[in-house]
Structure 1
Amino acid sequence: MTLEVHVLGTSSARPAQGRSVSGSIVETPEGMFVVDCGEGFQNRLVKHRSQMKSYAGRRLKMSKVSAILLTHGHLDHTWGVLPWMQTMALDGRKDKLWVIGPTTSEVIDALLGSETEPEVTPSDLVIQYDMWMDLGATSDALGYEVQWVLGDGERWVNMNDGSQIPLPQPMKKVKISAYSTQHTVPSCAWRISLGERKGKFDRESSKHLPDDIKASLAAGNDVEYKGDILKATDFRSDTIPGLSVIISGDTAEQAIDSDCNLLIHEATFLQSHADIANEHLHSTAAGAARTAVECGANHLALTHYSARLDSHDESLAEARGIHGSVVALSDGDRLVLNDDLSLIHLIKSEEGWTQQV
């Protein structure tokens, strides 16, 4: 099994240098998540799906998207949400869709009944939620169920009925977690993970055994056979480790309180502009690498570049001076995280994708 990330935008704030604003798809064995959905997202998605069909020989089915996970409320990360939801309605979607994102603790207090009026910035997702409702982002208007959820990292509120709920888990075997980050508006990083799995049953070493004995061993039971105890673990390969990816969204350099195999982190500035990064609560490429070291990431992927950067060569060199496994993303790239924790970086080209060597 693998986790695959489809990168549909790597620019910060506005399209620049041929790059589009944020939006990614995380493809799991059970379905897909969309992480951020900036303006023009569905146009990029249509093109990417067509290229996947033509060059990769498979289709990305939007009915498999279980949730849109928003890292914060800036429009370069959210303004494509409603148009794409309406397109899915036109395409006949029937499956439930979750839309989950961060807000402040004060907003959560108010949603749960506090009489204190919270101070809310225009880019807070609670403001956009009200606007989206007015523009027809309801289950009745769209024709499929939409569950809107806002939270502060610890408490989550179902905006459909105002109830406090645990962080929803839209898939059965894939877990999502949110980690608060530091930006000019409420923000979080999203961790998407697969749990560890049993190793494969060794049919070759058990082929001499009766079928009922093999079935019991395959089910994980130790059995007695001809006076010997056969241990189920001796007939199965090593446990396959879990896989995890964290997508940071916009954030100042900080430690993310979780480990991961792949960290996709914003690298808006170079270290030479660290003062600007600190002022606007963004990260440098070096800062992203330090964060990757802090959270024990096997691999780091850089994204969200400032318009002042006409290429990501310097960003890549800066980060590689700190972390041993770094790639720099471009629009349309794909990342494949394998069971053995290796990472394949597929770089978008005019005729599909080429693997970075």
Structure 2
Amino acid sequence: MEFKILGTGSATPQLDRNPSAFFLTIDQVLFLIDCGEGTQFRILEHKIKVSRLKYIMISHLHGDHYFGLVGLISSLNLNKRKDPLTIIGPKGLNEILILQFKYSNTILNFELSFIETQSDTFNLVLDTETFKIESFPLKHRVPCTGFLITKKASKRKVIRESLPENFPLPYYKLLKDGLDVTNELTGEVFLNKNHTVDGEPEKKIAYCSDTIFDTGIVEYIKNADLVYHEATFLDEHEQRAQQTFHSTASQAAQIANLANAKQLIIGHYSSRYKTTDSHLQEANIHFDAVNLSKEGDNYII
């Protein structure tokens, strides 16, 4: 799993920070999480192959999290995309997209499907053989969800050099499934424990978009390998954070600590802060493994 940061700012435009946008890669499948204004320019800047983009997740309908979506989809269409694209987002987003394309007389060359998230409950959004996406409620001024993306544990890995040269291919699958294998022709038994090792363990990334400080989300993101949590304000502006339903850096760190997360990334900085050193200092009081989000940075899980 690879988590790439494209946007670290919040609300109003900032020259040195772009609005929220993040890419997640799982086994060559590309996910875009939020799509603030100008995201397609960041895609060009970082040479991201959007041909591998399969899913776009939008947390809520504040502009700094989705104003780049129509432009991105339009560009994909102009570039003759044919592969299906799935949008995962809140009620109303599908209506917005349909209206935009209706009045621009845009006819898409590819299938665009929409999965509506539920902003009041923990919900399984998508479940595949290799990963699953779940959404959970966040407390913001409009309906808002966080996302928990899980890369499932892989099957056992076969130690090929421990097997005969002409070992039948169907037996490999049985070994990967954890079974012992008996060669029907020779009667030879191949014990799974002697010819396989553990596969990759399950990995989880939690994305906590705009939210007031809410310990209720801890149960949803427990033991995540990586947590992204908004940290719009510093402690001196905690009252402002409450008024606008946002969090401070120290509050984000408290959530990560309570969730027993392995690593925390904070971002969504208010434009009032020209540097983010104090965000890191305040977060480190409550949690050690804190990273400041910086545009272009990659995190490998």
TM bucket (normalised to shorter chain) is 0.7 to 0.9
Q: Output the amino acid matched with 1:330.
A: K
CA apart distance, 1:140: 7.2
The change in CA–CA distance for 1:140 and 1:217 in structure 2 (over 3 A counts) is same
Identity %: 29
Match of 1:94 in 2: 82
Match of 1:352 in 2: none
- Secondary structure of the structure 2 residue equivalent to 1:335: strand
Distance 1:26 1:200 in 2: 24
Q: Output the amino acid matched with 2:68.
A: G
The change in CA–CA distance for 1:38 and 1:85 in structure 2 (over 3 A counts) is same
The change in CA–CA distance for 1:233 and 1:209 in structure 2 (over 3 A counts) is farther
1:240 aligns with 2:240: no
Distance 2:105 2:193 in 1: 48
The change in CA–CA distance for 1:151 and 1:177 in structure 2 (over 3 A counts) is same
Residues 132-152 of structure 1: CA deviation (Å, up to 9, x unaligned): 322216997122111123232
Contact 2:35 2:58 in 1 (8 A): yes
The change in CA–CA distance for 1:152 and 1:230 in structure 2 (over 3 A counts) is same
Distance 1:334 1:75 in 2: 25
Corresponding residue pairs, total = 292
Distance 1:238 1:324 in 2: 30
Match of 2:14 in 1: 16
Match of 1:293 in 2: 257
In structure 2, the gaps of 5 or more residues are none
Contact 2:156 2:178 in 1 (8 A): no
- Secondary structure of the structure 2 residue equivalent to 1:198: coil
Distance 2:187 2:46 in 1: 60
1:258 aligns with 2:215: no
Match of 1:31 in 2: 29
Distance 1:212 1:198 in 2: 18
CA apart distance, 1:35: 0.7
Match of 1:160 in 2: none
- Secondary structure of the structure 2 residue equivalent to 1:184: coil
Alignment partner for residue 65 of structure 1, among 53, 73, 83? 53
Distance 2:133 2:111 in 1: 20
Residues 102-149 of structure 1: CA deviation (Å, up to 9, x unaligned): 24xxxxxxxxxxxxxxxxxxxxxx1x5434322216997122111123
1:145 aligns with 2:111: yes
The change in CA–CA distance for 1:189 and 1:219 in structure 2 (over 3 A counts) is closer
Distance 1:203 1:129 in 2: 49
RMSD between superposed Cα atoms in Å: 2.9
CA apart distance, 1:174: 1.8
TM-score between the two structures when normalised by the length of structure 2: 0.86
Match of 1:176 in 2: 133
Distance 1:334 1:217 in 2: 34
- Secondary structure of the structure 2 residue equivalent to 1:175: strand
CA apart distance, 1:155: 8.4
Stretch deviating more after TM superposition (71-80 or 319-328): 319-328
The change in CA–CA distance for 1:150 and 1:222 in structure 2 (over 3 A counts) is closer
Distance 1:149 1:7 in 2: 24
Q: Output the amino acid matched with 1:150.
A: E
Q: Output the amino acid matched with 2:109.
A: G
Distance 2:209 2:121 in 1: 20
Q: Which contiguous aligned blocks of 4+ residues in structure 1 show a shift greater than 6 angstroms? A: 137-140, 224-229
CA apart distance, 1:295: 2.2
Contact 1:98 1:149 in 2 (8 A): yes
In structure 1, the gaps of 5 or more residues are 50-59, 104-125, 157-164, 338-357
